Structure 1
Amino acid sequence: MNSIFLEQEETRSKDELKQELDSLEIQMFRMKENINKIAKYAEVISIDQTKENDWVVIYAYKEGSTCQLMLHNCARPYRGKWNSAIQAEFKGDGNLHIADIKGEENQGYGSILIKHLKDVARDDNFQYITGDIVKRDFDHVERLKHFYSKHNFDVKIDHEEQYGEIIWNDL
């Protein structure tokens, strides 16, 4: 009886492995196709993996004092739309200011984008990344506080005024 159980377990593992390899192969093919499409109009700055091991392409538009980092999941073909994005503005005082973060929640996309935004700040010699938490954010302010704290931002929240500030200092 034990040998039958072990055979079933081994077969299932091989099937799972084949499915995982098939998924990876499809993602790699799509990544190549997606990068080719994205690179026609944006700067591809990196590839990365989500917490679920999906491959993503991170790309940027930089125009004047603004920067937008976008992320596309390679599990899907690129059709001109990103899955998540951070909009930021270069300030003259060594500060990159986050204007907005948009996109799908609870996928790890925001964490990946924050990591790459820090790289952009370093590459462009900006010591600080700042941002505001405004009244419209207060329905999820605790989630924002956790997110930014996890990424080494100082977070100050005024619950009475429904306002907050975030600061990351690259010391």
Structure 2
Amino acid sequence: MKALDKTFTKYKEEVHPYYYKDDSYERIYVKSSPSDDQLENNVCTIIFKVEYCSVHIYNIPFTSYENKGYGSVAMRALIKHSINKGYLGITGLLSPSDPANTPRLRSFYKKNNFDIKPNSKSDSGKIQLDLTNPSELLERINLLENKLEEQQKKIASSEHDIANESKIVKLLKKYF
């Protein structure tokens, strides 16, 4: 398992993406804390295969951690990994097996710059992200990750200031 660069969710939580490959599939794991154990601290997984110079997403298993930004972190890690490997695109299918989640999945892929091609019933379809001109995508990802990191630094600084103010208040109460 290979550790990728730590990053932050949109909720300013520090997370740790990892890349893993076995005989059947490749995976991007997002973990809540660093761990080389494949299943430990895992909050999101993208399972994929490389086919004809392109990545095909096979599954993003549901967990109890939906709507917390972990999927977007995993997708950014997959996009960066795919660009670094020189792959031409990322594809996948929207499955009609869970129609209640179709709107949420469409929103997720659209937010992550994928083109969505629905079938005639609009209950399933294909997703695709073109990576032949990666500089714009990488620039957007880097801007977002830098913004998230800056927000995290501001929060840490504020927490430090609050802790110091608390010490001063205790000191003042002691003498007054």
**Which consecutive residues of structure 2, in runs of 5 or more, have no partner in the other structure?**
134-176
Are 2:20 and 1:100 equivalent residues in the alignment? no
Number of the residue aligned with 1:12? none
Structure 1: 4+ residue segments shifted above 4 A: none
1:153 and 2:123 correspond: no
Of residues 78, 98, 108 in structure 2, which corresponds to 1:117? 78
Report what 1:142 is aligned to.
Answer: 103
Give me the whole-angstrom Cα distance separating, in 2, the residues matched to 1:71 and 1:105: 13
Give the letter aligned to residue 81 of structure 2.
V
Specify the code of the residue in structure 2 equivalent to 1:43.
Answer: K
1:49 counterpart residue number: 8
Q: 1:51 to 1:161 in 2, by over 3 A?
A: closer
Answer yes or no: is the 8 Å Cα contact 2:2–2:18 preserved in 1: yes
In 1, distance between residues paired with 2:85 and 2:48? 13
Aligned to 1:67: 26
Task: Write the deviation string for residues 118-163 of structure 1: whole angstroms up to 9, x where unpaired.
Answer: 1111111111100001121321111111111111110011252732
Q: Which moved more, 1:121-130 or 1:150-159?
A: 150-159
Q: Give aligned-pair identity as a percent.
A: 26
Letter in 1 for 2:111: K
CA distance in 2, matches of 1:148, 1:161: 15
Equivalent-residue separation in structure 2 for 1:122 and 1:158 (angstroms): 28
Please say which of residues 117-126 and 151-160 is displaced more in the overlay: 151-160
* 1:73 partner letter: S
1:83 match: secondary structure: strand
CA distance in structure 2 between the partners assigned to 1:99 and 1:116 by the alignment: 16
How many residues align structurally? 127
Q: Could you tell me which residue of structure 1 aligns to residue 49 of structure 2?
A: 89
Task: Quote the RMSD (CA, aligned, Å).
Answer: 2.1
Question: Of the two structures, which has the highest relative contact order with CA contacts closer than 8 Å and spacing of 6 or more?
Answer: 2
CA shift for structure 1 position 45: 1.2
Higher strand share: 1
